[in-house]
Amino acid sequence: MIRAFVCFLVAVTAAPTAHALDYPDTPRGPVVDDYFGTPVPDPYRWLEDVDSPQTRAWVEAQNALSLPFLARLPEREALRRRLTELWNFERYEVVEKRAGRYFFRRNDGLQNQSVLYVQDGRKARPRALLDPNLLAADGSVALTDYEVSPDGRWLAYATATSGSDWNEIRVRDIATGKDGPDHLVRIKFSSIAWTRDAKGFFYSRYPDPPEGAAAGTFDDLAHQKLYYHRVGTPQSEDLLIFETPQEPKWGFVPEVTDDGRWLVITIWRGSENAYRVYVKDLGDPQRPRLDAPVIKLVDDFEAEYALIGNVGSVLYFRTSQGVERGRIAAVDLADPDRTWRSIVPEQADTLRHALFAGDGIVALYMRDATSRLRRFALDGTPRGEIALPGLGSVPDLNFGGVQIRGQFGDPELFYAFASFNRPATNYVYDLSKNRGAVFHPLKLRFNPDDYVTEQVFYPSKDGTKIPMFISYKRGLKRDGQNPTHLYGYGGFDIPLTPTFSVPNLVWMERGGIFAQANLRGGGEYGRAWHEAGTRERKQNVFDDFAAAAQYLIAQQYTSPRHLAISGRSNGGLLVGATLNQHPELFAAALPAVGVMDMLRYHRFTIGWAWASDYGTAETEEGFKYLYAYSPLHTIKPGTRYPAVLVTTADHDDRVVPGHSYKYTAALQHAQAGDAPILIRIDIKAGHGAGKPIGKLIEEEADKLAFMRYYTGGHSAPARH
């Protein structure tokens, strides 16, 4: 059987069709699970064992089919060249200022990983501080996080290999650029928080597996503990700061206030935006009391709390407590009653982020998924708005966090701004003079003014108005013949805002339309909007996405034979579910690293944490609504499905690749039409963060060529 997997042959012509394909043999096993009296077959259960010889052979066989097929698509090589040209521009991430120095990541264009630079003054020449490209010849090691010590001497930084969520932390001397002996492991979902004396930092890690523990007998993601690491000492000497042995699935994010007085421990359970907040009074910042007792400031999981900073004993937070769209509140730890008071009440727009900067607060709001920056005094008095360049957003960083930085007492505010036709550009704003300027000008190989974006609002199935951005090259004709790429996510309180993408620009450059729908389940409009797309209400998200497609068709932007859909992770689930429910609406579908088996997703790696959005099949109610839309379980044999390109990676330890493997096998088995069902499996890659530019270009060239061909961008696609 293994030999059959590896040694089959495939013929691919210059204009491939599904008739040329001979899918790898994928044996169907006898597994049947019983869910509350309902038998559910799971014939591809064996593909969940991603490291077995049989699965590895299947992966090789599928790639041996898909990669030559994609390579021979008519425009593939031209698209790869154009992606390379347009990706080759100098770009930066937002500046962070510490101890008078400026730190930022820069990519000269085609570097696999961005390099961390330090600038010793506003007019000083930047120097490379940490180049991840030197850590692995193939660019597979990424810098995932870094924190500069308060005195500017040390850099604590985290790296990950092959896209894994597992991190390792090291400490580098900023003056010499050399690493010390520090090497911390077993780290996942942690931050780094220095004490004010710059002698060490707090971080979270998971315990080592017991010696000799058999595979599958040890939960890698249980019993996270909070530690303090002193610079220059071995990890074995790290001091245990906090744990909750009675709650093995709780995790901890440490933060230290800028004055060094307070350690704030945010406790999370799963992916819900609801946290407990515990505090330790470290006392003298130069001699922090690490064994100080814990103050349970918020002792339930009812709302979101995000630390902004402190003034003495008063802590400021961004919170959803008691409101839908967020507010800023403060509590005085010296007050025995610890009464919360509102600083900036809830507004019509959604509060996304807030920080201390200058002598007040800067808050980032969203209005219909676009950014607004507003200033407030510490007592909440409005101080006006910081004008942004247009319809766009202050984007998220690749590894989390919003691209805006500032410090209390420092008038310099740094932020990035991006839109569908403009890459993220760094700005600096002088809060004392109320004026800003570009900090890092960009040199582009295209004219942003050649492209336009409009925002529309369309009705979903139940009448709810859904926003959607539609971007295209100026002069486009709405004749129903335009190749169109519709993208969505709709989950986990995460908003989709205007963001620049080189592949999307190449798509528009060739006459295509890019549409991004802001579906329920996301974070665009606060708590109710998010909850309307969760658990038993998840079908709303798929209805919103299908309605976006129907709007684009009805308004003559495109037609079903010219329309492709895509999404990643939870968005891969979105694509799979919507495709299964409406195969007639689309010419192509590209689900990436998707959650496809909704009955078993919670059994793998961090999957259990998504139950706040999805629920689980452990309850009868959860089973019923999950089974009704689960992409793996709603595939119907004998259906004429459109062209499908599934993408995943063999090292994805967030959404394990078994999801995509099983879904692809089931879809290949069920397909009754002529369109191909392909899976592209990246090797030595993970969920997406930190993927080398070289790998990105190859993958995006394949995806664009596939969409172009099957939406008629190159020539009329095969009928299906």
SS (H, E, C) 78-107: HHHHHHHHHHCCCEECCCEEECCEEEEEEE
**Predicted confidence (pLDDT) at residue 99 exceeds the cutoff of 80:** yes
List of residues 6+ apart from 37 with CB closer than 8 A: none
Catalytic residue (choose from 569, 602, 659, 720): 569
Q: What angle do CA 319, 325, 329 make, to 5 degrees?
A: 30
Q: In what order do the strands lie in the sheet with 314-319?
A: 305-311, 314-319, 327-332, 340-344
- pLDDT tens readout for residues 311-340: 999 999 999 999 999 999 999 999 999 999
pLDDT band at 556 (very low <50, low <70, confident <90, very high): very high
pLDDT band at 714 (very low <50, low <70, confident <90, very high): low
Per this entry, what is the length of the chain? 720
Lowest-pLDDT range, 153-162, 584-593, 651-660?
651-660
Catalytic residue (choose from 633, 687, 714, 720): 687
Q: Mean pLDDT over residues 219-228, rounded?
A: 94
Express as a percent the part of the chain with pLDDT over 70: 95
**Predicted confidence (pLDDT) at residue 49 exceeds the cutoff of 50:** yes
pLDDT of residue 346: 98
| Mean pLDDT, the chain, integer | 93
Query: Could you give the 3-state DSSP secondary structure of residue 68?
Result: helix
pLDDT of residue 123: 85
Cβ atoms of residues 148 and 118 within 8 Å: no
pLDDT of residue 4: 27
pLDDT of residue 684: 77
pLDDT of residue 428: 96
Cβ atoms of residues 353 and 402 within 8 Å: yes
C-alpha span between 710 and 381 (Å, rounded)? 55
Structural Rg of the chain based on CA atoms: 25
pLDDT of residue 683: 85
pLDDT of residue 687: 81
**Predicted confidence (pLDDT) at residue 14 exceeds the cutoff of 70:** no
pLDDT of residue 217: 63
Comparing 652 with 348, the larger pLDDT belongs to 348
Q: Mean pLDDT over residues 699-706, rounded?
A: 98
pLDDT of residue 717: 39
Q: Mean pLDDT over residues 675-689, rounded?
A: 88
Q: Does 687 participate in catalysis according to the annotation? A: yes
Express as a percent the part of the chain with pLDDT over 90: 90
Q: Mean pLDDT over residues 618-641, rounded?
A: 98
Q: Which helix (H) or strand (E) holds 309?
A: strand 305-311
Q: Mean pLDDT over residues 16-28, rounded?
A: 77
Q: Mean pLDDT over residues 406-431, rounded?
A: 96
- pLDDT tens readout for residues 131-185: 999 999 999 999 999 999 999 999 999 999 988 999 999 999 999 999 999 999 9
DSSP string over 493-510 = T--------HHHHHHHHT
List of residues 6+ apart from 155 with CB closer than 8 A: 116, 129, 130, 146, 147, 148, 149, 171, 172, 173, 174
**Predicted confidence (pLDDT) at residue 585 exceeds the cutoff of 60:** yes
Domains located in the chain, CATH noted: 2-8+24-85+446-710 (3.40.50.1820), 92-209+221-242 (2.130.10.120)
pLDDT of residue 643: 98
Q: Mean pLDDT over residues 472-485, rounded?
A: 97
SS (HEC) of 242-300: ECCCCCCCCEEEEEECCCCCEEEEEEECCCCCCCEEEEEECCCCCCCCCCCCEEEEECC
pLDDT band at 20 (very low <50, low <70, confident <90, very high): low
Distance of CA 23 to the CA centre of its chain: 32
pLDDT band at 720 (very low <50, low <70, confident <90, very high): very low
The Cα diameter of the chain in Å comes to 77
**Predicted confidence (pLDDT) at residue 601 exceeds the cutoff of 50:** yes
Q: Mean pLDDT over residues 202-228, rounded?
A: 87
pLDDT of residue 345: 98
**Predicted confidence (pLDDT) at residue 6 exceeds the cutoff of 50:** no
pLDDT band at 21 (very low <50, low <70, confident <90, very high): confident
Q: Does 582 participate in catalysis according to the annotation? A: no
pLDDT of residue 689: 79
Tokens standing for residue 318: 């961004």
Q: Mean pLDDT over residues 363-384, rounded?
A: 98
Q: Mean pLDDT over residues 75-97, rounded?
A: 96
Q: Mean pLDDT over residues 433-460, rounded?
A: 96
Cβ atoms of residues 421 and 451 within 8 Å: yes
